[in-house]
Every structure is written in structure tokens, then in C-alpha cells.
Amino acid sequence: MKTSFTNCLIIGSGPAGYTAAIYAARADMKPMLYEGMQPGGQLTITTEIENFPGFPNGISGAELMEQMRRQALNFDVDMRRGTITKADFSSRPFKVWVDDDDYEEHVIEAKTVIIATGATARWLGLESESEFRGGGVSACATCDGFFYRGMDVAVVGGGDTACEEATYLAKICKKVYLIHRRDQLRASKAMQCRVMETENIIPVWNSRIVEFFGEVDKFDKVLRGIKVENIPAGEITEIAVDGVFIAIGHHPNSDVFKDQIHVDQEGYIITQGHSTQTNIPGVFAAGDIQDTQFRQAITAAASGCMAAIEAERFLLDAKD
């Protein structure tokens, strides 16, 4: 069995993980970072980002993550590929088991751990949906809505998130079709009222998307519309839209930790107050794995900074 040791193990990449690595490395903690199955996280499938400070002309999600990664490597962060299969936080040093490129049992012993594994957007699962993802299909209206200013769009879902996305888009888009499988929304009464009182939000009840259509080639993706099935009648109609926002929830990537780390009913890690500290001293959580409200690159990066600083202070205060 192979064993490695580090003062600070960072699990997950993306804005939270890479930022935590930069701060931890500059504090001479010599951090080790496991990037997971999708280095860079969800931003790598986002096209243009215009609201991250410091890039007045915008930047692609993949390029932003690559620049963060290179910056971490410039500080000699021990960057590794692999996924965490098991963790033992019952005593320090903490033990984490990794499935890595060596294809052998590998245990990491760490004085502190920062969990930055993020949350994965739930998609509809259609083949045509994946074809237009990042080119007409998005899971974040706050991130990508600006690109559809003055256009017709659709939002899929019926909960608070879907209603919030629809009302946000209604301010900048011409029409917003709100597509829901049921005949009434699941959102809070206040959100339902807001949606129903917004003239350019058009509810499409008892319906589901069965296909996305448009043009796709190796250089560009242009969504032209969606085919929507009325579930009771089985009738399919076409709706012309320029963008579709899937708002049916996220799945926090906390399964491997939640038998030891306190999580809420949806699986998001619970942190203490304005801290990134979890219920286990020395284990911190940053980014979308603990953020149920904002889910922005800038807030994830900020929490990564906080986690690294808190991990440094923890080591300074620790007796071992």
C-alpha cells in the first residue's frame, strides 16, 4: 500500500480548489490537490464568462480554470489526478483513500483537509441536450443569461430555483417559457405569485422537452428551438427559443464524506457560521459543495481563500 503525507489535502479543483491551493502554497503549507474526474469543475463547460473581475473582455470558463491551475502550479502545488474513494476523519492525521493513475491502493495522510468537490447540475439526460450544452443550453441563468438579452428563452423546472431563474431572465429577455411537468409550480407561494404576475413569463404546463434542435458543427452551436411534449395528450409542439436553462436542481458531490461530515437534507456540507469549518476540526468545505445560494465562480474562489486561511490558522494552533 502506497502512503503519502501532506499538511493540507485539497479535494477537488474548480475556483474553490485552485484558489485554496494558491493560498495554502503561499503560506508554505505545501498542499496536495486532487483534481477529480473533471479538472476545473463545471466552469470548463461554460463558454463565455463576463462577470469574473479582472477580465473586461470576458474569458471562457475553460481558459479561466486553466489560468487558475497554472497559477497554482507556479507555487509548486502538488497537483494530482484521481478520485477519493474513502475517508477517515476520526483522528488526525486524517486518512483519505485515492483511486489514482497508479492503479494501486493509495492512502493520503493529511493534517488538514479542504473539501471542494462542488455540486453537479442535474440535466434532462437527452442526447440533443448534451450536443447544445455550452451553446444554447445552460444550468445557470445568472452566469449565461446576459448572452440572451432581448431573445426568447425557456426555463425547465417548477421549484424556487426555476422561478428565480425565470423572473431574472424576464427582465432581460423578450419571452421566457417556463416548462414544468405538472399543472402547478412547486415553488413557494411568493415565488409562484411573482411568476404569474410577470407578463412575459409563459407557463407551459404538464409538459417536458423531448428534443433540442438547431445547428451543430465543429466550430459552433446554434440552438433554434425545442420540441415539447404535452404529457397527458402525447402531443408534440415546437417552440422557437435561443436558449434553454435547466433548473431542476444540483447534486452535491458529498457522498463519500457524508457519513462523517454533517450535511443538510440535500447533501450540501454544513459549515459553521461565516466560516468554512465543518463539524470536524481541521476539515473545511469550500465552493458549491457548501453553497446553496450563490453558486458563482467568484464566491467559490472567495470561500477557497477562506478555507486555506482557516487551515493555516488551524495548523498554527494545533499541538501536533
pLDDT at 101: 63
DSSP annotation of 93 reads S
**CATH match of 123-246 with 3.50.50.60:** yes
pLDDT at 218: 74
Q: Is the pLDDT of residue 222 over 70?
A: yes
Q: pLDDT band at residue 217, thresholds of 50, 70 and 90?
A: confident
Q: What is the mean pLDDT of residues 206-220?
A: 92
Orientation angle between helical segments 297-317 and 61-74, nearest 10 degrees: 20
pLDDT at 279: 97
Torsion of CA 193, 196, 197, 199, to 10 degrees: 160
Q: What is the mean pLDDT of residues 281-289?
A: 97
**CATH match of 2-120+251-317 with 3.40.50.150:** no
Per-residue pLDDT tens for 86-127?
Answer: 999 999 999 999 987 665 678 999 999 999 999 988 999 999
Give me the phi and psi of 107, to 5 degrees please. Answer: -115, 130
Q: Where are the beta strands (DSSP E) in the chain?
A: 2-11, 32-34, 48-49, 59-60, 78-80, 82-88, 94-100, 106-115, 119-121, 137-138, 152-156, 175-179, 201-204, 207-216, 221-230, 235-240, 243-246, 250-252, 283-285
Q: pLDDT band at residue 47, thresholds of 50, 70 and 90?
A: low
Q: What is the mean pLDDT of the chain?
A: 93
- Write down the pTM of the prediction: 0.81
Task: Assess whether the region 2-120+251-317 and the region 123-246 belong to the same CATH fold.
Answer: yes
pLDDT at 259: 93
Beta bridge partners of 230: 207, 235
Hunting for cell 471562457 — which residue is that? 60
Domain residue limits, the chain: 2-120+251-317, 123-246
Q: pLDDT band at residue 161, thresholds of 50, 70 and 90?
A: confident
Q: Which residues are catalytic?
A: 140, 143-144
Per-residue pLDDT tens for 166-187?
Answer: 999 999 999 999 999 999 999 9
Q: Which is nearest to 5 in space by CA: 24, 25, 28, 30?
A: 30
- Check: CB of residue 151 under 8 Å from CB of residue 173: yes
Q: 132: helix, coil or strand?
A: helix
